[in-house]
Structure formats: C-alpha cells, structure tokens
A = this chain, B = another copy of it.
C-alpha cells in the first residue's frame, strides 16, 4: 500500500490541491465545488485509502487535536480510571490524549507541561504534584486551556474538578465515632499534598466536634516512596501506649492495603480489636477479609466533567469564568468497622 498524499490525488485527478483539500474537509459545498468533482475526490480518497498527515495538518491549522494528561502515575487504579474515561470521551470528539506520569516529582511535572506544550496540545488535564504552582500560574498567564483534577491549588484560581476531601474524611471518622470507637488513628502521607491535608483536617474536625482533642501521636505520616517500609513501625506505634487505638483511618487506598497487611502480621483482629476505614479503594476491597468500608470517589464523573470544562475552554474565543467543581464522595459501608 503506497502512501498517497494530497498532491497525488490532485495530479491524478487533474485538479488543484486546494480543491482536494476543501472536499476532504467537508468544505466542498461551502466553496461550491461541483458535485461531480467532489465525488471523484471522495472516491479516489476512499479507494486509495488517503489519510492526512496530522502533523502537517496540525502545523498548518495551528491545532493538534490532542490533549495532554499529566498524572502522578498511570498504574494507580484511580488515575488509570480517569485516563480511561477521558480517552474514551476525547476520542468521540476527535481528540487524542497523550499522557505522562510525574511520579510526584514537581520537576518532572514542569518538564512534562513543557513537553506537552511543545507537542502543541490544545489543552491540559493535570493532577498536579501540588508543588508546582509556578508552572500553573504560567499557564494561566498565557491563558492556556487546562483543568486541574483531583488536586488543585487553593491559593491559585483556576478551573478544577476535585472531591470534597475534608467532608469525605470527616464522614469516615464520624462513622467510626458513631460506632463508639474512641481512639482513632490516622495514617497518611507526609505533608505536601493539599488533598491529604484536607483529609487530615476532616479527621481532626470530626474529633473536635465531639470535644476530643486529636493527639498528634495518633497521626502517622509516611513517605510516598517508602510507606511499605515505614508501615510496620507506624502500626506498632498506633497499637501501643499511649495510643492503643481501636480504629484507624487510612488516607488512601494503598496505605489501607499496606496497613491491613501489617495488622494481620501483628495478629490484630479487624474490626473486633481495630476497625479500619479507607479513603479511596482498590477493586478487590470487597473481597478482603473483612470487606473494607471505604470512601469512594466518583472517578468517572471527574473525567467527564474535566473534559467538558476543558473543551469549553478550548473552544471559547474569549476567556470565560473558571469552573470550580467539588464533587461529593460516597461512604460504602462494608464490614471493616464492625457494628456497635
């Protein structure tokens, strides 16, 4: 199959490249190209399987029909689901998505944004490291279309779609309190992510409402890279004096999985001795023993809404107001918190 170009069609049909291009872009009627010519072009293109070079087209029209997705890690189920959804939706709109992972490194995030811009993406969807306000501001200044997902910069106005982390975490903690748990531990990641901070605040708030002063020793902050190594110590400390927790809130799915492994190793019965609850989940959390009660995020909605907003931005001539969406989480009660 020889590759066929515009000029080949033009030559073989004895017409100009202009005419061919117009017809192929459905601008034949508007430009009053005779039905006859149009048909000839269409037929030729079909039989010779003509396919335009998107690089050339993009360069010429100044648009690439590509959007970029920047996330911490495509192999995290949460982001993979968002990516999957975005890709499906975007394809329907004629857009391709290119993705890249930051591995939580702000430097990489900065590079990736640049790389994507170089590739002339028309818009960006970013789950930021939240340590890169600089570049986000830059994008804003250039009026470049982008929407933040999962994580945004509270001090820096922009389009975003996130989840109410504070509330989700508060509700989770209250669930434990309602079940008469008093000593509630909180296992999370080292500060740096506003998302995690909000979850911590939600936990604190729930306790304070009941006049329980949340002791700092009840909060364990692990390193994103080394959480598996640090988990045993964290769990051990939570289990012993002065903590001796009767329940633990884990601030994200992989911490829950890791924490549960340790609880098992210490032969702690869940939920009898220690109840656990997870912010966010993995696909087998309902099969785990006990099935894990979790705060669920509306992943698909996040993808849908983010793309909607982005497309609006891309297609808007003038700058339009920011869309700020904060979605609710859902508490799925299984068995890891027991009953009263």
> How far, in angstroms, from A103 to B138 measured CA to CA in the complex?
37
Q: Which of A15-23, A80-88, A225-233 contacts B (4 or more CB under 8 A)?
A: A80-88
- Chain copies in the assembled complex: 2
A57-84 interface bits toward B, Cβ cutoff 8 Å, 1 = contact, 0 = none: 0110000101000000111010011011
> How far, in angstroms, from A53 to B115 measured CA to CA in the complex?
10
CB of A260 closer than 8 Å to a CB of B:
yes
Residues in chain B near residue A37, CB distance under 8 A: none
Nearest chain B CB to A307 CB, angstrom units? 15
> In the complex, what residue of chain B is closest to A96 when comparing beta carbons?
B98
Which residues of A88-126 are within 8 A (CB) of B?
Answer: 88, 91, 96-101, 103, 114-115, 117-120
Nearest chain B CB to A220 CB, angstrom units? 19
Interface band, chain A: 35 or more
Q: Which of A147-155, A195-203, A239-247, A283-291 contacts B (4 or more CB under 8 A)?
A: A283-291
Residues in chain B near residue A288, CB distance under 8 A: 284, 287-289
CB of A42 closer than 8 Å to a CB of B:
no
CB of A40 closer than 8 Å to a CB of B:
no
CB of A282 closer than 8 Å to a CB of B:
yes
> In the complex, what residue of chain B is closest to A264 when comparing beta carbons?
B287
CB of A326 closer than 8 Å to a CB of B:
no
> How far, in angstroms, from A282 to B285 measured CA to CA in the complex?
10
CB of A321 closer than 8 Å to a CB of B:
no
> How far, in angstroms, from A103 to B92 measured CA to CA in the complex?
14
Nearest chain B CB to A287 CB, angstrom units? 5
CB of A269 closer than 8 Å to a CB of B:
no
Residues in chain B near residue A56, CB distance under 8 A: 59
CB of A1 closer than 8 Å to a CB of B:
yes
Assuming the A-B contacts A80-B77, A87-B101, A91-B100, are A54 and B119 also in contact, with contact meaning beta carbons closer than 8 angstroms in the complex? yes
Across the interface, do B55 and A257 meet the contact criterion of CB distance under 8 Å? no
> How far, in angstroms, from A55 to B60 measured CA to CA in the complex?
10
Nearest chain B CB to A26 CB, angstrom units? 17
Across the interface, do B285 and A51 meet the contact criterion of CB distance under 8 Å? no
Across the interface, do B80 and A74 meet the contact criterion of CB distance under 8 Å? yes
CB of A52 closer than 8 Å to a CB of B:
yes
Residues in chain B near residue A12, CB distance under 8 A: none
> How far, in angstroms, from A156 to B119 measured CA to CA in the complex?
35
